[in-house]
Amino acid sequence: MVSTPKINWFLLILFSLGSMAVFVAALIFPSFRTIAYAPLRELILPPPAPINITVLYSTEKETWLDEVTKNFEATSPKIDGHAIKISLEKMGSWEINAAVLDGTRKPVIISPASSLQIAALQDSTTTKFGKSLVNPADTSSCRSVLKTPLVLVAWKERADALWGQEPGASVWMDLNNALVNPQGWAAYNHPDWGYVKFGQTDPLKSNSGFMTILLMTYSYFNKTGNLTSSDILSNSAYQKWFLDTENSVGQFAESTGPLMTNMITYGPSTYDFVTVYEATAIQQSDNAVGRYGELHVYYPPVLSWSDHPFCVLNGDWVTPQQTEAAKQFINYLTGNSAQELAFQKYGFRPVDNSIQLNQPGSPFEIYAANGIKEDLSTYPNVEIPDGNVLNILRDFWSRNVNR
Per-residue pLDDT of the chain (403 residues; tens, 9 = 90+): 455 555 555 555 655 555 555 455 544 455 545 555 455 445 455 678 899 999 999 988 999 999 999 999 999 999 988 999 999 999 989 999 999 999 999 999 999 999 999 999 999 999 999 999 999 999 999 999 999 999 999 999 999 999 887 778 889 999 999 999 999 999 999 999 999 999 999 999 999 999 999 999 999 999 999 999 999 999 999 999 999 999 999 899 988 989 999 999 999 999 999 999 999 999 988 888 877 888 999 999 999 999 999 999 999 999 999 999 999 999 999 999 999 999 999 999 999 989 999 888 899 999 999 999 999 999 999 999 999 999 999 999 999 997 6
**b/e per residue, 313-338, with b = 16+ CB within 10 A?**
bbbeebeeebbebbbbbbebbbeeeb
On whether both 87 and 160 belong to a single domain, the answer is no
On whether both 190 and 212 belong to a single domain, the answer is yes
On whether both 201 and 84 belong to a single domain, the answer is no
How far is the C-alpha of 296 from the C-alpha of 263, rounded, in Å?
12
pTM: 0.84
On whether both 298 and 224 belong to a single domain, the answer is yes
The verdict on residue 355 lying in a domain is no
Alpha carbon 361 to its chain centroid, in Å, reads 24
The amino acid sitting at 247 is N
On whether both 199 and 64 belong to a single domain, the answer is no
End-to-end CA distance of the chain: 97
The C-alpha R_g of the chain, in whole angstroms, comes to 27
Cβ atoms of 78 and 47 closer than 8 Å:
no
Instruction: Kindly report the CATH number assigned to the domain that includes residue 195.
Output: 3.40.190.10
On whether both 172 and 206 belong to a single domain, the answer is yes
On whether both 191 and 295 belong to a single domain, the answer is yes
- The pairing of strands 198-199 and 273-277 is parallel
**For the chain, how many structural domains are there in total?**
3
In 3D, which of 43, 38, 99, 109 has the Cα closest to residue 72?
A: 109
The verdict on residue 367 lying in a domain is yes
What is residue 359's predicted lDDT score, i.e. its pLDDT?
87
The domain containing residue 108 runs over which residues?
51-144+309-347
Cβ atoms of 205 and 94 closer than 8 Å:
yes
On whether both 248 and 190 belong to a single domain, the answer is yes
Query: Which residues, at least 6 apart from 157, have a Cβ–Cβ distance to it below 8 Å?
Result: 293, 294
On whether both 244 and 175 belong to a single domain, the answer is yes
How far is the C-alpha of 36 from the C-alpha of 370, rounded, in Å?
60
